[in-house]
Amino acid sequence: MNGIAKMLLFLCPHCDELLKVPEAYLGQRGRCNKCGGRIALIGDANLATPQAASIVADETATDPRLGPPKPASDKQLDYLRALGAPEQTLRGLDRDQASALIDELKEKRQRGEPPTEKQLTYLKHLGATERQLGRVRSKADATRLIEDLHLSPTADQIKRLKALGASGAHLAALKSKAAADALIEELSDP
């Protein structure tokens, strides 16, 4: 043991649980210990307040380390019942199917629900602009913006920004896909 490991904060994209994870897990794939959904932990460990986002890991990707499909866990089944899944849909589910069903039901529910205080506080902490926050109308919107604040700007965004006349300094300072969106918006404004 060499002292206390730096902990990162993640919101599970499947169930919105706030997870605390040792920094060493950054960049790895795994499962949420509440809902069992597959997640990939991404972000910047060098931030003053360490935190990062988890994204939904590709459910179709086969990871040889995971082995053959395991049956859905009791936690997943409980969670699915809480989401209102009928009992007959729960029979014979494997973990990935359960996770996909959780996502589906969550997404449906999240589109109709306002963002939580936890999500909004986290978004402000991550540097979402007022304008971006103003557009967050549902839990699903908040989840998406949290991901975008942790992903790198895309090649397309950089191309657009160059076309809009963004300076090299501007481009170098861009930290995320969401920040690139905000700058594109700013520069496109008449």
Q: Which residues bind Zn ion (CB under 5 A)?
A: 12, 14-15, 17, 32, 34-35, 37
Residue 15: CB minimum distance to Zn ion, A? 3
Residue 53: CB minimum distance to Zn ion, A? 13
**Closer CB to Zn ion, residue 36 or residue 153?**
36
**Closer CB to Zn ion, residue 33 or residue 167?**
33
Residue 125: CB minimum distance to Zn ion, A? 20
Residue 126: CB minimum distance to Zn ion, A? 19
**Closer CB to Zn ion, residue 37 or residue 153?**
37
**Closer CB to Zn ion, residue 35 or residue 98?**
35
Residue 106: CB minimum distance to Zn ion, A? 9
Secondary structure of the chain in the HEC alphabet?
CCCCCCEEEEECCCCCCEEEEEHHHCCCEEECCCCCCEEEEEEECCCCCCEEEEEECCCCCCCHHHCCCCECCHHHHHHHHHCCCCHHHHCCCEHHHHHHHHHHHHHHHHHCCCCCHHHHHHHHHCCCCHHHHHCCCCHHHHHHHHHHCCCCCCHHHHHHHHHCCCCHHHHHHCCCHHHHHHHHHHHHCC
Tokens at residue 68, please? 């053959």
**Closer CB to Zn ion, residue 37 or residue 115?**
37
